[in-house]
Structure 1
Amino acid sequence: MHRGNKSEISSFPFSFPQAAASYDDILPQIIPSIAGMPTVAKSPPALISPAGPTPSGTLPLSSIDKTLGGLVNLIQVFPPSSLSAAHDGQGAAAAVAAMCMGFARALVPYYPVAGRISPSGLAVDCTGEGVWFVEAAAGCTLADVDGLECCPLLIPGELLLPRPPPGEKLDGLILMAQATRFACGGFAVGISFSHAVFDGQGAAQFLRTVGELARGLPTPSVAPVWGRDAIPDPPSPPPPQLTEFRFVNQVADISAESIERVKDEVKQAAGEGCSTFDAVTAVVFKCRALALAAALPDDAEVRVGFAAGTRHLLRGVLPAVDGYYGNCVYLASVACTGRAVRESPLAVLVGAVREAKEAVAAGFADWMRGVDRYDVLLDYSTAILSDWSRLGFDEVDYGFGVPSYVFPHNDHVDFVPALNYVSPPAPRRGGGGIRVVLRCVEEPHAAVLAAELAKFA
């Protein structure tokens, strides 16, 4: 079979918290521990406004933006060694002040981010208000909470995420940030961004710009592009009927050796290689089908959907592809009976994943012409995955080095079974492999899923 181009599988008057001489002198809001968990002290949220004049007015969101929404949460972990090496003893307060300055400067070229999503949800009002920023301090070291690498977390993830002051509506916000310093000198930076304005690649692009400007670069290395009105506006599908679930948080590491073993199996069966994404997706698809075996009839469909990046398919449509930070994705899917997934060799499942990827270009073209192809059923049988390992969140440097680990924290999403691929925590990252962050099964199926995935650790 001919293998064409694959889809990529996938953002001077200002106000921010004043740097304090010591973290002991600030952060009066104490968030109590839960069952002996560490405390976190937070400063009141403060607005970081653009560092210069910005345009006003209203900018429409794209038809893809409008199908998405809600806040996406992620946490970046910066060990103390990266902070001290990057700042030569300047101190945590100076590091946070520089990061705030980076946000303020980034909000000039990215001026829509300083606005608010309109009440209709169809546009951004460029108000120039800014983004909410919180300083915080944790009463423990990163080592005390296993570097935030374990699951469940040893400190409630919500304590590491920003929240606005009372009265600010969450559904209008575009981005918030929180910098939490640990007693060892390390940091966790929690980011909440609106999926209606950014996709993952776009949000990472914005945060890389914040880091560049925080480190003193005069301009962003990539100029931002809005360009939402260039994307076609076909009829919207009806909203899906969703059921609320009680997902279990899990983490599984798929080793480089296991990935190579699957690739070798595919090479022997098909005479050609496959990508890491293909191999890992086949593994998690099979493992989840095995976990659901007792809950579904053999002939019931199980599905895995994934957001395929489509920027390369919009060259000549967008004013510029490089720099575009809006949603540029198309939902592809693989569907088979549960029995077929359980009994098929991984090489066969890899082939199904590759066929779904190859169908993206035609499906996306049909969607742009008004043919509705967003037909993935969003129920317990369907897991939706996102590949965060190549988006660039782990390349962001606010001035204290790149993070040792980045992971999503979206425990509020209880309607769609979700899988996220992330880079393993450093130093294991250099050895390859993929970490899978899972919220895709309920308690009765969690132990079997963990046991099956452990075979690939």
Structure 2
Amino acid sequence: MAGKPTVAKSPPALIRPAGPTPGGTLPLSCIDKTIAGLVNIIQVFPPSSLSAAHDDQDAAVAAMRRGFARALVPYYPVAGRVTPSGLAVDCTGEGVWFVEAAASCALADVDGLESFPLLIPGELLLPRPPPGEKIDGLILMAQATRFTCGGFTVGITFSHTVFDGYGAARFLTAVGELARGLPTPSVAPVWDRHLIPDPPSPPPPFFAVVTEFRLVTQVADISAESIQRVKDEFKQAAGEGCSTFDAVTAVVFKCRALALAGALPDGADLRVSFPAGTRHLLRDVLPAVDGYYGNCVYLGCVARTSRAARESALAELVGAVREAKEAVAAGFADWRRGVYRSDVPLDYSTAILSDASRLGFDEVDYGFGMPGFYTYPHDDRANFAATLLVIRPPAPRRGGVRVLIRCVEEPHAAIFAAELAKFA
């Protein structure tokens, strides 16, 4: 490939619901109101992952567009706009913006989009509305980009105020099902935000204090063999099993503690905070939690002193992660009653780990096969939190996980990478 890759985009076009939809205004939940911002994800469909239906690329994209239009009928709030107050959705039925695009390169020319950061600017693969559209009110946009090799990417931008990751994946799953001709989504969507009662006093945002860092972008794979080894160590020590999340979180916690050894006193607290799903804790108020696509998360947190995190065996740290997970139910119940526990400080001692590996973004089939891979483009401006994002790696490394990393500054990046490499 000669020169930098380019992407030619068509003007954004609105996909409106395929049928009549209700109007009116729907309130957001008390959990939705604590979360803001847009989330970007890129689904990658290399030629090897595509079914025979991809032979006609125009027909494949047309089917995807029909899937969006049909999905916007049962998911009619998604065709609306978040109100300027940020407290509700106005069901206008306007639709979602959709962009068709063509890249000047093959996916192989940009490492299959496996590098982090991407070898092609993420904004080229993500949708943007036309000038004059207020982006803060948009709920979802999509862009289908064709590559010269015959592969595709589907870039999705969604409002975190309206969806959590699970909810966004359920919507895209419905788009794929309806694009493939199913009469209805396999899981009926549920709005019902009003059924989640507001706490007696307004809940605070999950994080109150913001500091800016100079975070380094890294990527690391943790192999299935390493994960199993940690699981075996924990089972031998505790007599019971643990999850992949438990093992991966313990590994990351220890590796980061070793990397930050010279930056924090031995007695300083070191933390890994994680958004934990709480749908199962809302069965008392929601009629169908599987179809609920609003935010259902509560922040868990595992904490140890810097020295303890460095010196503890991985099995001990797995136990600490499990204790933090078990505390989520009580913390969430308190939060719903308006009893707020102390905020997790958003400083360099805290890393936020989000597990997106099981949300289902790599299981969406718009009619031309499932993605071979999916990724999140990094944002150089997002330096207010040390973050780690766990996703599923491409097929040859399935069973393990891939971690997209922005959680250490330059003085600690090499040590952190070297420690994580021991688990590759």
TM-score (norm 2): 0.96
SS of 1:197's equivalent in the other structure is coil
- Residue 34 of structure 2 is aligned to residue 56 of structure 1: no
Comparing 179-188 and 434-443, the one that deviates more: 434-443
1:338: how far off? 1.0
- Residue 421 of structure 2 is aligned to residue 442 of structure 1: no
1:414: how far off? 2.2
| CA displacement, residues 168-225 of structure 1 (integer Å, 9 cap, x when unaligned) | 1111110011111110000111101000000110000000000000111111111100
1:410: how far off? 4.1
Counterpart position of 1:402: 370
2:208–2:343: 8 Å Cα contact kept in structure 1? Answer: no
Counterpart position of 1:192: 157
1:70: how far off? 0.4
1:128 alignment partner AA: G
Counterpart position of 1:66: 33
Counterpart position of 2:104: 139
SS of 2:62's equivalent in the other structure is helix
SS of 2:31's equivalent in the other structure is helix
Counterpart position of 1:418: 387
**Aligned runs of 1:8-407 on 2, under 5 Å?**
36-83=3-50, 85-87=51-53, 89=55, 91-234=56-199, 235-237=202-204, 240-373=208-341, 375-407=343-375
| CA displacement, residues 391-434 of structure 1 (integer Å, 9 cap, x when unaligned) | 111110001100011122241432111111111112322xx111
1:374: how far off? 6.2
2:49 alignment partner AA: S
1:53 alignment partner AA: P
1:36: how far off? 3.8
SS of 2:267's equivalent in the other structure is coil
SS of 1:248's equivalent in the other structure is coil
| CA displacement, residues 240-276 of structure 1 (integer Å, 9 cap, x when unaligned) | 1201223222111000111111111111211222111
2:167–2:295: 8 Å Cα contact kept in structure 1? Answer: yes
Comparing 197-206 and 291-300, the one that deviates more: 291-300
1:86 alignment partner AA: A
SS of 2:65's equivalent in the other structure is helix
In the aligned structure 1, how far is the partner of 2:159 from the partner of 2:378?
A: 13
In the aligned structure 2, how far is the partner of 1:80 from the partner of 1:398?
A: 15
Give aligned pairs, total: 420
1:128: how far off? 0.7
2:8–2:103: 8 Å Cα contact kept in structure 1? Answer: yes
- Residue 422 of structure 2 is aligned to residue 455 of structure 1: yes
Structure 1: segments with no counterpart, 5+ residues: 1-32
1:86–1:399: 8 Å Cα contact kept in structure 2? Answer: no
Counterpart position of 1:22: none
After superposition, the Cα gap between the structure-2 partners of 1:86 and 1:413, relative to the gap in structure 1 and judged at 3 Å, is: farther
After superposition, the Cα gap between the structure-2 partners of 1:408 and 1:257, relative to the gap in structure 1 and judged at 3 Å, is: same
Structure 1 segments (4+ residues) deviating >4 Å: none
In the aligned structure 2, how far is the partner of 1:427 from the partner of 1:96?
A: 28
Structure 2: segments with no counterpart, 5+ residues: none
1:88: how far off? 6.1
In the aligned structure 1, how far is the partner of 2:156 from the partner of 2:347?
A: 28
SS of 2:182's equivalent in the other structure is coil
SS of 1:37's equivalent in the other structure is coil
In the aligned structure 1, how far is the partner of 2:348 from the partner of 2:320?
A: 20
In the aligned structure 2, how far is the partner of 1:416 from the partner of 1:92?
A: 40
